[in-house]
Amino acid sequence: MLVLGLETSCDETGVALYDSEHGLLADALFSQIDLHRIYGGVVPELASRDHVKRMLPLIRDVLASANRAPADIDAVAYTAGPGLVGALLVGASCAQALAFAWGVPALGVHHMEGHLLAPMLEESPPAFPFVALLVSGGHTQLVRVDGIGRYELLGESVDDAAGEAFDKTAKLLGLGYPGGPEIARMAQQGVAGRFVFPRPMTDRPGLDFSFSGLKTFALNTWQRCLAEADDSEQTRCDIALAFQQAVVETLTIKCRRALKQTRLKQLVIAGGVSANVSLRENLAAMLGEMGGQVFYARPRFCTDNGAMIAYAGCQRLLAGQHDGPQIEVRARWTMESLPAL
């Protein structure tokens, strides 16, 4: 089955062609980062308008590079939520219109299920069951995964998502958007131990997270430095490193707890923050000690992309699932409400 996947939930237009027999044939992405950078974050209306401009040329590019024609496509999968409603509607309308014109089924995919399954596109994918740490700009969740659509939420952030904390901390340090890669870059030059941030909610049982306090801690630390007339690049690097270490260690502690609780030894990390090298290294070391293994997607499939939507959609379409012709998207949508395969 050849599936066209479309992703438009936020600020990247992602398109891909996934074949159930031959794997990923082609994928293309247009990132709107330059468009939103001057505002320090995503402007939803600008995002929607840009998705309209990019979508059809990207679909043409992907078809051309895979050497396929519209007549070869068996189904269209698109991100139906969660995300920005206007942006989602662009992908949903486009997917439904193409599916109608081509006489093939369309299926709305859950964006976080897309992220969760992205490591399946890699050479040695994890096997069910496993624990998944989903860390993106909008979500921080620990999930027990027994199969596609068989999700048990073990814990989640009670306030900011991990990626959001990276973005907000970067902003207050005067770094660029998106903040995650910027903090990671600055942290490489940081001196360990100059600042020590708390590890929120690790001193009590449970698998929930809280990251909004870290952003406030970073703000207070930075303001204290400014009051001492220290606004040096080195100080920003030292704060970036202390912040990143706190997030990474907090996530690692909770992942270890989740693995112990479930008695599982495979951990999947997915979503934009799973591109973070320090997080990958820490989790690999922890899983190494436990005799387990950590799985993640290549960096460009950690952040938003069309390939994960084409892949997730294909698995559900193969099982016979598809939507009617209605154009329906959801700003909020829990993954546990998805049907099991």
Binding residues vs ligand KG4 (CB under 6 A): 10, 115, 136-138, 163, 166-167, 178-181, 184, 271-273, 275-276, 303-304
Out of 8, 79, 136, 274, the residue judged to bind Zn ion by CB under 5 A: 136
Gap between the Cα atoms of 52 and 50, Å rounded: 5
**Shortest reach from residue 242's CB to Zn ion, in Å:** 26
Gap between the Cα atoms of 80 and 108, Å rounded: 5
Which of ligand KG4, Zn ion, none is residue 166 near (CB under 5 to 8 Å by kind)? ligand KG4
Of 135-143, 227-235, 243-251, 288-296, the window that binds Zn ion (rule: CB under 5 A) is: 135-143
**Shortest reach from residue 281's CB to ligand KG4, in Å:** 12
Tell the residue number behind the tokens 């892949």, with chain if given: 311
Rg (CA), the chain: 20
Query: Which of 2/142 has CB closer to Zn ion?
Result: 142
Long-range contacts of 25-30 (CB under 8 A, 24+ apart): 25/66, 25/68, 26/62, 26/63, 26/65, 26/66, 27/62, 27/305, 27/306, 27/307, 27/310, 28/58, 28/61, 28/62, 28/65, 28/306, 29/58, 29/300, 29/305, 29/306, 30/54, 30/58
Which of ligand KG4, Zn ion, none is residue 179 near (CB under 5 to 8 Å by kind)? ligand KG4
Which of Zn ion, ligand KG4, none is residue 200 near (CB under 5 to 8 Å by kind)? none
- What does the block give as tokens for 140? 């921080």
Query: Which of 129/213 has CB closer to ligand KG4?
Result: 213
Query: Which of 73/170 has CB closer to ligand KG4?
Result: 170
Gap between the Cα atoms of 28 and 306, Å rounded: 7
DSSP letter for 149, please.
T
Which of ligand KG4, Zn ion, none is residue 91 near (CB under 5 to 8 Å by kind)? none
**Shortest reach from residue 241's CB to ligand KG4, in Å:** 13
User: Does residue 140 interact with Zn ion by CB under 5 A?
Assistant: no
Query: Which of 105/163 has CB closer to ligand KG4?
Result: 163
Question: Helices 212-227 and 233-262: crossing angle, nearest 10°?
Answer: 160
Nearest Cα residue to 183 out of 278, 53, 310, 86? 278
Which of ligand KG4, Zn ion, none is residue 199 near (CB under 5 to 8 Å by kind)? none
Out of 11, 12, 164, 304, the residue judged to bind Zn ion by CB under 5 A: 304
**Shortest reach from residue 67's CB to ligand KG4, in Å:** 29
Length of the chain: 341
Which of Zn ion, ligand KG4, none is residue 181 near (CB under 5 to 8 Å by kind)? ligand KG4
Given the rule CB under 5 A, which residues bind Zn ion? 136, 304
